[in-house]
Structure 1
Amino acid sequence: MIRTLLASLALVATVTTATLAQPDGESFADWLAGFRGRLEASGATPDTVASMLDGLEPDMRIIERDRSQPEFVRPLWSYLDIAASDLRIRNGRAAYAENRETVDAIAAHFEVRPEILIAIWGLESSYGEIPGNNDIVRSLATLAWEGRRRNWAEGELIAVGHMLDNGYATRDQLTGSWAGAMGQMQFIPSTYLERAHDWDGDGRRNIWTNEADALASAANLLGRAGWRPGQPAVVEVDVPESFDFAAWDPGQSRLVSQWAVLGIEPARGEWSADLLMQAARLDLPAGGSGPGFLTFPNFRVILRYNNSTSYAIGVAHLAD
């Protein structure tokens, strides 16, 4: 899908704990005392509150990571070099071959594209190999204290309380990414409660060590978000120099046939008759001089997983 893009740019950042400043305002202890009351008011049992908050300390590295997420700060071409590296493609083919029967059954049940599931699996946890070992309670508490996304982070911590109280997970299972996502498909706690799926019928929605449950949970998320079977997510296009960029609205959808009239052509091949009748938006993530993409409704479904244009293009590219 993606042609050879501009050469990768080196992204070098040296961060030490000593350079990380404490957020302005209240201390972590003050935030923790206030949140303890809010967690108790949500209905969490005393044992759950104690297991989550007793002795909890912030992780200052989390704040720096939150401010420098690669899919948001790396140039697209640099991000794609990593997202669809030769190693990730090779490992993805091997993971699909090893789990093909299960993956295809899940994809058919939820009517999603199997390669998209594998690609998300690859980007989220290297096909289950690297799900993360951060304590997500500590991560979410640090983000809540930092304040940029306090309401969101506190809501996720309350969701953790529900998970523990209902026996969906044990406290020591709650490990994952620095951003508070868990398991092989990196679900945040509220998404786990809403979308996690017990594929093998054993009564547990085990997204940590059960590949089938993890993949089915991701498929359920995509399906419930509106995935359209048999339709594309994104197509790379050539944008002519004559294109009126001043009149371009990135939120505007047009039929592909209308984009074609404006000189937008596929980077490879020709438009199919079916595709010409579908609606798409023109996305120029690197500006008018960079690569162009027509993005379809399925692209915005992938954004429900991670609201980053680079991530969604990376998933579609790796899937292809």
Structure 2
Amino acid sequence: MRIKAAIDKVPGGMMLIPLLIGALIRTFFPGIFDLPEFQSSFTGELLTGSGALLAAFYICLGSTIRFQATGYILKKGVSLWIGKIGTAFIIALLIKLIFPDQNNLFLGLSALAIVAAFSDSNGGLYMALMGQLGKKAEDVAAYSIMSLESGPFFTMLILGVAGLAKFPVLAFVFAILPLIIGMILGNLDDKMREFLGKAQDVIIPMFSLALGAGINLTNVVKAGFSGVILGLAVVVITGIVLFTIDRVTGGNGVAGVAASSTAGNAAAVPMAVAAVYTGYSKIAATATLQVTAAIIVTAILTPILTTWIARRSERRSVRG
């Protein structure tokens, strides 16, 4: 049986399918989560231990982030990173100023889901697109800077600074510590980077299963539709902002549009944030579904838009 090949045909399949399996278990067999035998078992830990799995994932993810960067990589990476984080922050401020209920803005979307989806780009998608359509190898390497977006830290920071949540200082420290540990290990030893970098792909379906086990599918239709709207908003809004920034900093706009997506690991952010700030605990499951839908939508639309921009740029350069 070609199980992995079938899963890989689904955009974000290694995250989405285990998440749906976990959600099916929670929806149709909710009683097992209350059984003492289940709670004390390895199966119970697998389906409810998303925190430990996420911590391990962020260590592995951090190991792939390199400290060194050339001038071009630094300029490209920093400008796109600031554009992505800055856009999410401005949106968070607008939510705070305009909407009285930040947990139910439009179609059930929350500030948590919106900031999580807007603040992190899909690194694998960006590197694949720039490897194919970029003019320089450094365009791909620019993600070494942009990958700092990964994890719940900047989502927490944006929500906190915008006044949408309150986090103690130690919460920020402990939220980013696994990522920093991974970064240190990966930069001190190339073998550790290779070892830990491979492990993150294995952990993704594991924590996705645990995240899904906290989701009741009775809300999936509403969350899925609002997630599609969220994904469209990410592509359009960040696409325009990052395209402009890329052009202003000397690029042709392709790299900016290639970063107009939502990272696969962003689906884990709502639960991670809710574990620190209880004000989001009731909406974290719905936000996870919405962000997951946004991930899929951007994984489909971002490559289409990036390819169109690249071809348009090539036609202009030929005419010029």
TM-score normalised by length of structure 1:
0.24
The structure having more radius of gyration, on CA atoms, is: 1
**Which fold has the larger relative contact order, with Cα–Cα distance below 8 Å and residues 6 or more apart in sequence?**
2
